[in-house]
Amino acid sequence: MDFGFTPRQEALKQEVRQFIAENVSPEVLAEAAKGWEEGRGPRTRELLKKIADRGWVGISWPKEYGGQGGSRIDQYLVEEEFARVGIGVGGAGSGAPAILAAGTEEQKQYFLPRIIRGEIVFGLGFTEPQAGADLASLQCRAVRDGDEYVVNGQKMFTSSAHFATHLYLMARTDPEAPKHKGISIFLIPMDTPGITVRPLWTIQSNPTAPLGTTYGQARTNEVFLEDVHVPASCILGEENMGWYVGAMGLNLDRVGASRYLLSVSRDEDIINWVKENDFQGFTPAQDPAVRDRLAELWIEAQVCRLMTLRSMSLVEHGGKFTYEGSAEKVFSPEHGVRTTETITQVLGPYAQLMNGSPEAIEDGIFAHNVLGAFQSGINHGSVQVMRDQVARRGLGMPRS
Amino acid sequence: MDVLLNEEEQMLKNLAREFLEKECPPEMARAMEADDLGYPPALWKKLADLGWLGLALPEAYGGQGLPLAYLGLIFEELGRAIAPVPFHSTMMAALTIAKDGSEQQKKEVLPAVARGDMVLTWALLETDPRLLPETVHAQATPQGNGYVISGTKMFVDNFNAAQKFLVACRTAPVSGDKSPVTPLYERGGLSSPPLQRGVGGISAQGSEAGLSLFLVDTNLPGISHTPLGTMVKDKQSRVTFDRVAVPASSLVGRLHQGWPVIEGMLDRGTILLCAQMLGATRKDAEMGIDYAKNRVAFGRPIGAFQSIQHLCADMIVWVDGVQLLTYEALWRMDQGLPASIEISQAKAFANDKCEAVVRSSQVIHGGIGFMAEFNLNLWFRRVSSWTMRMGTSFEHRARIARALLDQPGRVRLGESMYDLAPSG
């Protein structure tokens, strides 16, 4: 066991902090905060390119695809520093890990360097109106036709669709096969004719979340695919093996710096707030009940941190998760919700005030978090599905 | 950074498990509940022969000088096997003598412990059960070339089996103003000097506590004990000192400066108990999960029901959490880093979650788990009682709250809590 970082890694952290201090201006952050509504703006793109030029994206990816052939722990450290200021780096998302694991040489050469440079962004085309937690029952069809596939169907909650360059799509290629064994994954340019994107506005869209909100997604999308013709070379991995290719990417997407910070940032925020503030002499930080509860949450946050580091350690060993990624995806999001809800009881009626309101605390981020926190226990595999996986894969419990 | 066990650590753990599965079946724990001594001397001797008793003691005194984390792994396996041996109380005292004892005390005690010829324990708590200096009222008064001790100690582990014990006594009144003494756990971990600066001028020597620690033979005239009847039927005693004369050489560390020594002892004892709770709780969870896979109701194994599966998933997630917190604290102690906050994190979480896990396992077992002759209860009673010892959740969380909230500077996960940077 080794719970420390090497001097080189500590120096890397400092280097990234220095870079952030010099390059991540309030203007960039304000623009990045609008990313969910408007996509990446010019300042964000320039920043992401600078970060990529430093060699800080895809550190653990092989050199021949633009990575550094470095350690997953290094990559985690860099991602954490940027995630803390609200900038997602590292080719986060399911696409790149799946391409690394299952892509053809040509796909790796094409996609990975462009993902690193920020030129390719995936929209995740998994969920459908009738296929959420039970994703394998999806109905979107891809039919082989000579050198092409023709895709028809509807996708839901494709959050990046309006600024993505490609759709990372799961579709059924064999309707006769058992549901997990008739699915394939396709990497489809968004500008392919037949693709329509329509916005879906969330309960965090009016007003939209201010800078620094952990859970602040104003917009997601539905995506319609009507007779979309794509070359057969768009398929990722073997035909009908898409379920397993997708699961690989999802497992890696469930862990890491951004997921961890999503769950624990509120702990730091409320503790630092109560340390520096009071209500005309009432000081929550001196209330024994508040103190006990905040300490309890802090301990849970440490568990979130350690579970993330466990996942990183497993990846570093080249091992696969049996249940550890799912365990982290149970504990951390639920912790984030517990913290968010505790904050409402520490701040009382002030916690309901949104940004723009008179007397709003921290520009309403705590109110926004109440609206969005539970979302992290739903997306990318709900905590209930994750518990199924811990029990069945991790503990070998029977299905029936 | 690699939170997984390395090869050597895993090997030690495996060896310990194999040995205990063979030599220490649960029936032994059950038998010792009815035994006057409370542990099998033959097993104790075997532990000595394996080198476990001297594992973390200095090589110069018959030990192996291995890291505390290794001892933690042994405790984890002893917990798993619910081994009825006075290992915890002996190690708490022995490690303290190794760190703070005189040359004479080390020579007298440590080789004998490592050989399996000496059982030790410690006596701190009195009527007020909190692990705080101001709860100590037993008095050691200078007399002739030594001291005379009078007072009563509670919850003294394995007193009946121990040859010597460490006894905390008041040698000077609590100094300072007349205001009530702030619980030292609340002051934020005196064993970690950097934090003391951060929490506002707590004396690094701890002399304001006015305590001293003595190494005392258990059979001295004037010492008497009354066994306490615990839910584990383990051996704890109320020990009374009636003008017990001890030589000056029994002082451990410096006069009136006993509290930092005691805090170190408590920190080590707390984290080793966490490791023991971890091992016992994981085993208890595994028994519940196995039972769920095999017990049939409504035409299928109950483990096929999601209500049971999700209960089991939480059990394992929580045990994993206890493990990660415990290992991190042990690792920090071996690095010589301050660890009092990490120790409190581990114990507070273990108290709450281990109790929840063993309760869930009882729930999965239904009525059969309530039966005295069914072995599950051996783990349930032990884990439950360990949550009550070495600091309650409230005590440990108060210590964390103090570090979080009562020193200037912003907190950040993953960064040191012992010396927060100035605001900004």
Q: Where are the domains of chain A?
A: 7-92, 122-239, 254-394
CB A333, CB A384: distance < 8 Å: no
The alpha-carbon gap from A247 to the nearest alpha carbon of chain B, in Å, equals: 20
Contacts of A107 (CB under 8 A, 6+ apart): A99, A187, A236
Q: How far apart are CA A51 and CA A118, in angstroms?
A: 10
- Reported as a single tens digit per residue, the pLDDT across B139-187 is 999 999 999 999 999 999 999 999 999 999 999 877 654 334 444 444 4
CATH superfamily of the domain spanning B261-405: Butyryl-CoA Dehydrogenase, subunit A, domain 3 (1.20.140.10)
> Residue B1 is which amino acid?
M
CB B200, CB B349: distance < 8 Å: no
Q: Which CATH architecture has domain A122-239?
A: Beta Barrel (2.40)
Residues of A in contact with B5 (CB under 8 A): 1
Q: How far apart are CA A123 and CA B413, in angstroms?
A: 31
Nearest beta carbon to residue B331 from set A2, A73, A300: A2
Helix (H, G, I), strand (E, B) or coil at A257: helix
The alpha-carbon gap from B294 to the nearest alpha carbon of chain A, in Å, equals: 10
CATH superfamily of the domain spanning A254-394: Butyryl-CoA Dehydrogenase, subunit A, domain 3 (1.20.140.10)
Contact at CB, A400 and B300, closer than 8 angstroms: yes
Helix (H, G, I), strand (E, B) or coil at B347: helix
Please, where are the H alpha helices in chain A? 7-23, 26-33, 35-38, 42-53, 72-84, 95-102, 105-116, 242-253, 257-276, 288-316, 324-347, 365-372, 383-389
User: Alpha carbon of B49 to those of A321, B98, B113, B195: distances in Å?
Assistant: 39, 20, 11, 41
User: Along the 400 residues of chain A, how does pLDDT read in single tens digits?
Assistant: 999 999 999 999 999 999 999 999 999 988 887 777 777 889 998 999 999 999 999 898 899 998 999 998 999 999 999 999 988 886 556 788 889 889 999 999 999 999 988 889 999 999 999 998 899 999 999 999 999 999 999 999 998 999 999 999 999 999 999 999 999 999 999 999 999 999 999 999 999 888 778 888 889 999 999 999 999 999 999 999 999 988 777 666 667 888 889 899 999 999 999 999 999 999 999 999 999 999 999 999 999 999 999 999 998 888 778 899 999 999 999 999 999 999 999 999 999 999 999 999 999 999 999 999 998 888 888 999 999 999 999 999 998 7
| Residue that the structure tokens 């550094």 belong to | A68
Q: What is the mean pLDDT of residues B119-128?
A: 97
- ipTM rounded to 2 decimals: 0.94
Any idea where the domains of chain B sit in the sequence?
A: 7-118, 122-172+210-256, 261-405
The alpha-carbon gap from B183 to the nearest alpha carbon of chain A, in Å, equals: 13
Rg, Å, chain B Cα set: 22
Q: Return residues 289-308 of A near B (CB < 8 Å).
A: 291-292, 294-296, 298-303, 305-307
Q: How far apart are CA B68 and CA B81, in angstroms?
A: 20
Contact at CB, A313 and B330, closer than 8 angstroms: no
> Residue A120 is which amino acid?
I
| Strand A141-145 versus strand A183-189 pairing type | unpaired
Contact at CB, B310 and A387, closer than 8 angstroms: yes
Residue in B with minimal Cα distance to A304: B321
Q: How far apart are CA B196 and CA B187, in angstroms?
A: 8
Q: Return residues 306-365 of A near B (CB < 8 Å).
A: 306-307, 309-310, 312-314, 316-317, 323-324, 327, 330-331
Helix (H, G, I), strand (E, B) or coil at A210: coil
> Does the domain spanning B7-118 belong to CATH 1.10.540.10?
yes
> Does the domain spanning A7-92 belong to CATH 3.40.50.1980?
no
Contact at CB, B1 and A312, closer than 8 angstroms: yes
Residue in B with minimal Cα distance to A329: B317
- Any CB–CB contact under 8 A between B310 and chain A? yes
Q: How far apart are CA B99 and CA B120, in angstroms?
A: 15
Q: How far apart are CA A132 and CA A120, in angstroms?
A: 26
Q: For B122-172+210-256, give the CATH class.
A: mainly beta
- Any CB–CB contact under 8 A between A239 and chain B? no
Contacts of A215 (CB under 8 A, 6+ apart): A204, A209, A262, A336, A340, A368, A369, A371, A372, A373, A375, A376
Confidence (pLDDT) at B183 = 41
Contact at CB, A305 and B6, closer than 8 angstroms: no
Characterise A169 by phi-psi region: left (phi > 0), alpha (psi -120 to 50), beta (else): beta
Q: How far apart are CA A268 and CA A61, in angstroms?
A: 31
- Reported as a single tens digit per residue, the pLDDT across B7-34 is 999 999 999 999 999 999 999 999 999 9
Cis peptide bond N-terminal to B86, omega within 30: no
Residues of B in contact with A284 (CB under 8 A): none
